[in-house]
Structure 1
Amino acid sequence: MTSATLQLDAIEAKLFRQLLGCFPTGVAVITTRAADGRPAGLTCNSFSSVSLEPPLVLFSLRKASSLLGTFAEADGFAINILSERQDALSGRFASSKIADKFEGVAWRPGPLGMPIIEDCLASFECSAHARHEAGDHDIFIGEVKHMGGGGPADQALVFYKGAYMMLAESLRALVIQGRLGSADLDEAYRTLYGTLLRLACERATDGEIDAIEAAVDAIEQHQDADSLDQRIESASRFFSAIAAAGHNEALTLMGQTMTTILRERMTHVIPVRPRPDLFPLRRKVALCLRRRDADGAAGALDELITKLRKGGDVPAEPGGQ
């Protein structure tokens, strides 16, 4: 087929936005000075580096933004990289309902006079270098003239699939502090993955069931010399494959949360030891899925979790080997 006859589907805007959200980005507040000297700013996750020699960065701004003219007329701007504890600032500078975004916000003028927000992870003060029109956005490129860090030793605020991605770090703290009990986790695994297995019996493709069986194979093939990271990866893959086979995006996101907990507990809390007595139960889960036996699959998972907890004086995990 030639390029002249190739027919391509139109890009659907909602799906385009949704798929772009699969790429996690940092969050920054872009600031500048209006013509009358007042500070102006907005939240942005389109910040990117461009060049090292000279040091160039960019951000993009919607043509419909009320601040487009302000940035277009300014002779510079500042990029303020937010930490995860500054999510309220992100919301403030993104809101169209707050007239004075800087009211109550600690900031200082940088050497170029651009507003630098206090306690950010990093800041880059730039002189205007270039501006380009691109579809419904304008791209602003700045040359970095001054930069700074020295904020609190926090994680960066990350935006992912339309939400702030702080959950993993919060879960890590809960796990290490021992605030997630085994009984509650067992109940969560039974409820979540039992539901996913029932959905998978209706929706899974043969290839997705093959992936679950491959994860079981990997667990059974581990040698004593294999590293903890390898064992954790295999255990995580087993549950991730079940989640994928259930074809429910909301439950899959919950499954990712449980996978994070599993990884942290196996790394920091629960000693991992070989459990060949569990091999038949994982096989039974996969076999029942192949037969589209929802009750059998959920029952095998329940038996697996129960046996893990009764497996001896060394505590075990749903991913235990």
Structure 2
Amino acid sequence: MEVASPSVQAATPALFRSLMSGFPSGVAIVTAFGSDNRPWGMTCSALCSVAVEPPTLLVGMRAESPTLAAALHTGRFSVNLLHAGAQGTAELFASGAPDRFDLVNWTTPADAAGSHLTDAARSVADCRVTQNVQVGGHRMVFGEVYQICEQAVAEPPLLYGLRRFGTWPTG
């Protein structure tokens, strides 16, 4: 049996996007408060756990993002992990609509680092910025998780891959 040779190509931005679209990930909305206490937020799938002790997340954000600017200014941010029914909220926060916080329910519990999206999140991690690194047009922000808010939601996580939203099958 003869096996076809794989195609090897130079890594271009388009080819890299295609590569990563085949690696589904969870969907989160990162939120932070600006210097004027205004809420900022953005949809993010560039998120991973780094360590359990201390509990640390890594979040990738565009270098020009106002959410990034707010998180770096205050030294804190929240990561809202979305449930399967929150696709509309993920799309809203990806759109950059200036009134996005007027269109969703959110709260700020005691000592929260950013807005908690009460109807969209399965859980929320509040983080302190411990370091950040510039990579291309993005900043990789390390956040030590100092509190976690678990929502009472039975829906599975919202996923994104192959340039579309999805979730795990039930049953």
Aligned match of 2:85: 85
Deviates more, 1:24-33 or 1:135-144: 135-144
Structure 1 distance, partners of 2:66, 2:32, is 14
Aligned to 1:140, what secondary structure does the other structure show? Answer: strand
CA contact 1:111–1:146 (8 Å) conserved in 2: no
Match runs of 1:109-124 below 5 Å: 109-113=108-112, 114-119=114-119, 120-124=121-125
Structure 2 distance, partners of 1:144, 1:79, is 9
Structure 2 distance, partners of 1:9, 1:133, is 26
Match runs of 1:1-321 below 5 Å: 10-96=10-96, 98-113=97-112, 114-119=114-119, 120-166=121-167, 169=169
TM-score by length of 2: 0.87
Runs of at least 5 residues in structure 1 that lack an aligned partner in the other structure: 1-7, 174-321
Q: Greater share of strand residues, 1 or 2?
A: 2
Structure 2 distance, partners of 1:66, 1:123, is 20
Runs of at least 5 residues in structure 2 that lack an aligned partner in the other structure: 1-7
Q: State the Cα distance separating 1:151 from its structure 2 match.
A: 2.7
Q: Deviations over 1:21-56 (max 9, x none)?
A: 111100000000011001110000011111111111
TM-score by length of 1: 0.48
Runs of 4+ in 1 over 4 A off after TM superposition: none
Aligned to 1:10, what secondary structure does the other structure show? Answer: coil
* Counterpart AA for 1:105: V
Q: Deviations over 1:251-273 (max 9, x none)?
A: xxxxxxxxxxxxxxxxxxxxxxx
Percent of matched pairs sharing the same residue: 28
Q: Greater share of helix residues, 1 or 2?
A: 1
RMSD: 1.9
Give the total of aligned pairs.
Answer: 162
Aligned to 2:107, what secondary structure does the other structure show? Answer: strand
* Counterpart AA for 2:155: D
CA contact 1:122–1:149 (8 Å) conserved in 2: yes
Q: State the Cα distance separating 1:117 from its structure 2 match.
A: 1.2
Structure 1 distance, partners of 2:66, 2:36, is 16
CA contact 1:27–1:45 (8 Å) conserved in 2: yes
Aligned to 1:117, what secondary structure does the other structure show? Answer: coil
- Larger Rg over CA atoms: 1
Q: State the Cα distance separating 1:81 from its structure 2 match.
A: 0.5
CA contact 2:72–2:129 (8 Å) conserved in 1: no
| RCO comparison, higher one (Cα < 8 Å, 6+) | 2
